[in-house]
Structure 1
């Protein structure tokens, strides 16, 4: 029996406690139950005013959401990251660490994370790695998204940021659709940016990490129907490099959402996956695509290109300045 003195006071601690009560020692079920309830709490905590009131009334009317009911009563697909032992261990570490960002929040931090656009629309994300070099996804450039870069928190407020055009937009020669690997590209800017570039993580720094911090301007719902334009961050656990996830272990890694509805999404393509080492953040990956077992456009885990695997190539692109 739970007494007043051992009830968790922190909302996410309460979610963890409730999920463990329901799931017992079943780690896979714990992950699904925790995610489902956490989505409800996170949605409420990140709303305010009239929106928060409407959300609270909605939750009271319908009780537990269909997502929560399905998570409590069903299992994830057999090849999902939610059956991956590395992911399960890292996910527990993220849940237990209250300093981690587990809700997908707007941020003014990480100014090296930029929005990338065509001539008339914003469409991807990227990272400044030298005064005039931005790393993004090959499929962004291949799809015509690589003409300009926005430095700022929100593309809807261009006066609060800076736009620099790209002189060169070049996808890596190994990126040859429909083959998904080699999904990285370089934008060489017309002039150096005033933002401090982000150093690139070594392979060893990524190996020692339990999670990565994702940043980007992408869509904010799991069906990828809208919300592009505001820089947001979220921490997600790293999974194993098992082939069933669909990643090339030599040049890519896999990470998943610690909240079932919080993950990289369309518009985050090319955006950074940071790893922390020695109190500093380094660029480990560029957002590429969903895992092979994903059931939805966003929210079931993602594959990230290892930037270090292509670092030598970055500096061979004509006009690229080294940090």
Structure 2
């Protein structure tokens, strides 16, 4: 039987083969297109599904590795249909998008540790047809809301040139390689701020670029106010001795009001001509709920209590830095 790590490497081989003709304008060693173009495709691009496989190559999974085409571009994404209500344990699309957006508060583009992520509203028939291509009927997609024949789907760019780290952190490299220490620090700041509570192997991957060995958090569904995973919560805490000063300085400027404005409504859809399309967010329909609708609008965001808890973690982090508990990397 193939081990999980071997399955993952096999998936990466397929991804690399599919991207053999990558354009010379690739963003870096892990992104075969510029980030802005990936964001555009995930959010609004017209897409054609070319191939569908379970994410880890096993039957009965709830997420899929989808090869799709959009215009002249072919790319792979993690495709995660929401369950009924879009707010169940380990399947909260809003948490995946929130983790992506939180990193924008304190990381530059080349430092980001969550791949491009978006939420789309697709007709239920299209989602079922996509999943059916795996030949696995164990988890047929559901309508997200009973009144509409549609399903919300979280899409996340499937990165190139990454692998499962054997040890995280690599203690020897941590002592010798300041670039690795900085990049791992960025990763740990993100997992701490969002309260990442699932240390399952496969949720974190590392770039194989020796000069820029970023660690990425590619599954953030168990975070914020989620229940804990039975696989441990190792990276929910701060685990290093030093963190990048640039990231800490940006976190100093984060206010509760700013978090509420940026994360209260992460994405909004409106019903137009029978389909839900993403639109600019309006006022928060209900700050106490993460998934909201009023008949023709759907909003996903963090709740007021989730935002307050995250802000408390940031304030505590800054206090600890100022007390000298953690050192800063220049």
Q: TM (normalized to structure 2)?
A: 0.28
Which has more helix, going by share of residues?
Answer: 2
